[in-house]
Amino acid sequence: MSALSRLTPAIEPGTVWLVGAGPGDPGLLTVHAANALAQADVVVHDALIGEGVLALAREGAVLEYAGKRGGKPSAVQRDICERLIALARAGKRVVRLKGGDPFVFGRGGEEALALAQAGIRFRIVPGVSSGLAALAIHGVPATTRDTNHAVVLATGHAAEGAGGTDWAALARTGAPIVLYMAVSTLPSIAAGLIEGGLAATTPVLVVHAATSTREEIIEASLAELPALAQAGRIASPAIVAIGAIARVRAALAEHLLAYRQAASA
């Protein structure tokens, strides 16, 4: 047993670990996440998990894809929870592998509640959330003392309709905004932020497929975002950072080493 593998407890049969896989690069897995993959009987994973991460699963482990299908997210989410419960009741050592951090826009909270209600014991292994990783690797600090003392992490998924996010109110906080799942709603989000007083010239950094070999970066202003989105220039998955922090990158760029992963994700 290596010194690193001793850091993680054994997964007990009949329990579920909700594990964050980070943004894609296997090098950004936590030690606990890598050790959990090396132990699990079954790995139930989402769509955004890179092959490089899944390749770290124990030989003989069953890999089950649990992505959303057919535009029925709530029904499928219930199926996923039921599957986790069934696997645990069958005595399996289950890793539920979720992109980024399992408790940041990942429905990890819903799955933990379902497990608790079913009397299944579980553990949470935090992961590096894509919203912070995508910025950090490209020289954008989520906070600096000069620019901001708060940062907003928001989903664009709830942008439209009843119960949607009040973007104008978020703009008025003055805090930079880091958007997840916002590609299809960027035009209305940008309009709401400008309505709330955010300058049309506010800098924006978009990172598509952060830390993967397909990664793309776009620098723009808030006013340019809708046209970029409507022209199909911003593909999912993407993180969109809006605010003065996006400008810090320019000051670091000359000396910041390009992000490279050792193996493809």
Ligand X SMILES: C[S@@+](CC[C@H](N)C(=O)[O-])C[C@H]1O[C@@H](n2cnc3c(N)ncnc32)[C@H](O)[C@@H]1O
Write out the catalytic residue numbers. Answer: 46, 68, 181
Q: Rounded to the nearest whole angstrom, what is the least distance from the CB of residue 165 to ligand X in the complex? A: 15
What SS3 class is residue 257?
Answer: coil
Q: Based on CB atoms, which residue is closest to ligand X, 134 or 229? A: 134
Q: How far is the CB of 24 from ligand X (least distance, A)?
A: 4
**In the complex, minimum distance from the CB of residue 133 to ligand X, in angstroms, rounded to a whole number:** 7
Residue 41 or 46 having the CB closest to ligand X? 46
| Residue 24 vs 192, nearer CB to ligand X | 24
Cα-based distances in Å from 58 to 6, 49, 55, 175? 16, 16, 8, 43
Judged by beta carbon, residue 129 or residue 147, the one nearer ligand X is 129
State in angstroms the smallest separation of the CB of 103 from ligand X: 8
For residue 199, what are the contacts with CB-CB under 8 A and spacing of at least 6?
222
DSSP 65-116: E----TT-HHHHHHHHHHHHHHHHHTT-EEEEEESB-TTSSSSHHHHHHHHH
Give the CA distances from residue 80 to residues 64, 107, 148, in Å, rounded to whole numbers and listed in that order: 10, 11, 39
Q: Which residue is nearest to ligand X (CB)?
A: 100
Where along the sequence are the contacts to ligand X (CB under 6 A)? 23-24, 48, 98-101, 104-106, 129-131, 134, 180-181, 207, 209-212, 236-239
